[in-house]
Amino acid sequence: TRKIIIDTDPGQDDAVAILLALASPEDIEVLGITAVAGNVPLALTSKNARIVCEVAGKPDTRVYEGCDRPMARELVTAEYVHGKTGLDGIQLPDPTMPVQDTHAVDYIIETLRAEPAGTVTLCPLGPLTNIGTAFQKAPDIKEKVQEIVLMGGAYFEVGNVTPAAEFNIYVDPEAADIVLKSGVPITIMPLDVSHKALTTRPRIEAFRAIGRVGEIVASWTDFFERFDMEKYGSQGGPLHDPTVIAYLLKPELFSGRHINVEIELQSDLTRGMTVADWWRVTDRAPNATFMGDIDADGFFALLTERLARL
């Protein structure tokens, strides 16, 4: 089993990613879930993370609260996508499980220092504030990370929050820059991948057929997809964040290139753009595996099969 920390700002798609991880204990051990401000403010992402653990029937999962705003910018949220609660689509009971006392950044640092080097994978599904702050505060932990598998950025699909930038990177580009320059092995699931993982009708009906958890997931995706369907005229919504967990379970579903990826920090026009050297036109050293394609049917089959275990 692979030990992971999920760093997240739920978000319906984050929620499905958490469920996928918690549904796969033989492959993945979720050491902790760290909440960050992003889609909605921190108080809600923390609450939503715990709601999701309870939906999964895993109230013993440790949830930590992290940074409530980006490292150097004002927080930008996305209620227009995810609804006021961040998890609109179905009314679920408030969580009864506790938040841990430790700050998420300190938890990440302590965990990486305590575990053997190269045995913990970080899975960021939101702005990279918690990870960037941890790397800045404790640079020694960088060499202890096995891998970072994150959802963020775009190349051919370019932006979803501005014409140039994807939301997670846009919200905290300084944190993303620290992570991309960290020297840690990084795998990126950009919009180029997630915009191919669409919640079409048959895929959602397959979720519904599972039972209670599938119904909840379908209610979330029904709410979430309306935004992208109206915007792009697509067949469903992009299930961004679960691609990160699916990659841990079945990397063969994805293909990409090991290339150089830099973050734009200066320009107001292109703030947070992931400048990905897909065609290797520079001699800048590769620092990330940037995925470009997904076997979407295989991805949804995996998701449905795992969610049915909850």
Between 74 and 93, how does the x/- string for binding to ligand BDR read (CB under 6 A)? ----x--x------------
The yes or no reply on residue 160 touching ligand BDR (CB under 6 A) is yes
Three-state secondary structure readout of the chain: CEEEEEEECCCHHHHHHHHHHHCCCCCEEEEEEEECCCCCCHHHHHHHHHHHHHHCCCCCCCEEECCCCCCCCCCCCCHHHHCCCCCCCCCCCCCCCCCCCCEHHHHHHHHHHHCCCCCEEEEECCCCHHHHHHHHHCHHHHHHEEEEEEECCCCCCCCCCCCCCCHHHHHCHHHHHHHHCCCCCEEEECHHHHCCCECCHHHHHHHHCCCHHHHHHHHHHHHHHHHHHHHHCCCCCECCCHHHHHHHHCHHHEEEEEECEEECCCCCCCCCCEEECCCCCCCCCCCEEEEEEECHHHHHHHHHHHHCCC
In the complex, least distance from residue 12 CB atom to ligand BDR, rounded to whole angstroms: 8
For ligand BDR, the closer CB: 39 or 121: 39
Task: Identify what 160 binds: Ca ion, ligand BDR, none; CB under 5 to 8 Å per kind.
Answer: ligand BDR
Taking the C-alpha atoms of 213, 216, 217 and 219 in order, what is their torsion angle to the nearest 10 degrees? 160
The yes or no reply on residue 86 touching Ca ion (CB under 5 A) is no
Point out which span in 7-15, 139-147, 258-266, 291-299 binds ligand BDR (CB under 6 A): 7-15
The yes or no reply on residue 34 touching ligand BDR (CB under 6 A) is no
In the complex, least distance from residue 17 CB atom to Ca ion, rounded to whole angstroms: 8
The yes or no reply on residue 177 touching ligand BDR (CB under 6 A) is no
Of 31, 51, 52, 125, the one binding Ca ion (CB under 5 A) is 125
Nearest Cα to Cα of residue 217 among 16, 10, 9: 16
State how far the Cα of 231 lies from the Cα of 93, in Å rounded to an integer.
31
Q: How many residues bind ligand BDR, per CB under 6 A?
A: 15
Of 7, 13, 192, 264, the one binding ligand BDR (CB under 6 A) is 13
Q: Is the bond preceding residue 89 a cis peptide, omega within 30 degrees?
A: no
In the complex, least distance from residue 11 CB atom to Ca ion, rounded to whole angstroms: 4
In the complex, least distance from residue 305 CB atom to ligand BDR, rounded to whole angstroms: 23
Point out which span in 8-16, 63-71, 109-117, 135-143 binds ligand BDR (CB under 6 A): 8-16
Of 6, 7, 12, 14, the one binding Ca ion (CB under 5 A) is 14
Point out which span in 11-19, 187-195, 230-238, 265-273 binds Ca ion (CB under 5 A): 11-19
Nearest Cα to Cα of residue 191 among 270, 251, 273, 262: 273
In the complex, least distance from residue 205 CB atom to Ca ion, rounded to whole angstroms: 25
The yes or no reply on residue 151 touching ligand BDR (CB under 6 A) is yes
The yes or no reply on residue 11 touching Ca ion (CB under 5 A) is yes
For ligand BDR, the closer CB: 6 or 141: 6
Whether residue 240 lies in the annotated active site: yes
Instruction: Write down the catalytic residue from 82, 103, 240, 258.
Output: 240
Question: Which residues are part of the catalytic machinery?
Answer: 240
Binding residues for ligand BDR, rule: CB under 6 A, are 11, 13-14, 39, 78, 81, 125-126, 151, 160, 166-168, 240-241
Binding residues for Ca ion, rule: CB under 5 A, are 9, 11, 14, 125-126, 241
